[in-house]
Amino acid sequence: MNERIIVVIGVIVVIGLLWLAWRLYKGLLVRKISLVAGQYRGKPTLLYFTADYCATCRLRQTPVVQELVGRLGSYITVEAYDVTENPDLAKKYKVLTLPTTIIINREGRVNAVNYGLTPLSKLEQQLGNL
């Protein structure tokens, strides 16, 4: 019985360390991206990375981005990029998966990087904090 408890605790510790490592890695990525995002100044900007072959992008994330534009269009800038047409830009912004959305504040600094599907409420909250 004690051995099982030790194994369970070990698994929990490993998962916690992996989660912490991911958070640290993502923080480093945000700092690296901030160095190249300076061209976006003035309005908060949403960079949306997608591709034709990405079903999640087409069917789920694009409608979310379109609704966001409908709600906040005059207050933000939204730029969508196809990673197959812009591989250098995707590399520059450390796009690891699709869809990826990046929130850049008025000063041109990265505020948030979202890997995978991001709900409208989270994007609004991230942009609202600016």
- Give 18-74 pLDDT, tens digit per residue: 998 888 887 777 666 655 555 667 889 999 999 999 999 999 999 999 999 999 888
- CB 46, CB 79: distance < 8 Å: yes
What's the alpha-carbon Rg for the chain, to the nearest Å?
18
> What is the pLDDT at residue 54?
96
> What is the pLDDT at residue 130?
67
Q: Which residues 6+ apart lie within 8 Å of 6 measured at CB?
A: none
The C-alpha atoms of residue 66 and residue 58 are separated, in whole angstroms, by 11
Q: What is the mean pLDDT of the chain?
A: 88
Q: Is the pTM of this model over 0.85?
A: no
Helices marked H in the chain: 2-34, 55-56, 62-72, 87-92, 120-128
Neighbouring-strand partners of residue 82: 50
